[in-house]
Structure 1
Amino acid sequence: MEVSLRQITKDNYEAVCELDVSKEQEEYVACNMWSLVESMFNDGYETRAIYLEKEPVGFFMWAKESITKVSIWRFMIDHKHQKNGIGRKALDLALAEIKQLANLKEIEICYNPKNPVAKEFYSSFGFVEVGMDEDNEDMLAVISI
């Protein structure tokens, strides 16, 4: 099973927009279509389709917050492809790509603090919880470079 990250283009954006998480996850994950629109009108936003072989199965979006900090804002795997290790491989690829940025000192991600699976998953990549975000809704975790 080859997992890869690819640019989102006119050839694959519709397939990316059709990806869905499970019903239980919907309240935690923004719509891919909205995220793509957001990325088109804001500088420093990067989007990637997560592919399994030749099929888009997930989505990433990150934003360059400053010259030294990147925030991962969106990360989803379609419900039909979850629990197969795709997310782990995809996050590894995304982190490797993000770490190529010059002057990078920090990568951050937010998640629901009531989600123990997220905490364990992200900490396995080196993310360390630093407290709640400014809205006091999500846990903020960072990797220092």
Structure 2
Amino acid sequence: MDVRQMREIPIADFLNAMGIQPKKQKGGILWYNAPYRTERTPSLKVDTNNNVWFDFGIGKGGDIFDLAGEFIGSDDFLLRAAFIAKSGTCPLPVLEQPQRSEKKETVFEDIWVRSLQDARLLGYLEERGINAHVAIPNCE
């Protein structure tokens, strides 16, 4: 999804994906309590026809990227885009893994399992604050 497509995401859908519902609706205008600050009276206006918002409490508005910036408190465009993508309103591209036809050889050979008894390993565990009576029954 490119920037143009992200800008076309309805702001109401963006807010809904985060569990934020409008308090009032008048035609194509939705009123919300601003979710990024505390308020009792809805002052965040979303114009669904033009897909823009304006918060009368702070005197700011704009598109979905500007709104994302208010949520995360950042002017960094890439952080804003990532926040929008994580909201669940736009699908992330699925990257296909290339099929590997070659079979890899086993890297480890001559491996055996035995109880923990090496003095150097036990000394290391003691240095790390792990007593031998705890490590021996739990490690191999």
TM-score (normalizing by structure 2): 0.25
The higher relative CO (CA closer than 8 Å, separation ≥ 6) is in 1
Rg: which structure is higher?
2
TM-score (normalizing by structure 1): 0.24
Decide which structure has greater strand share. 1
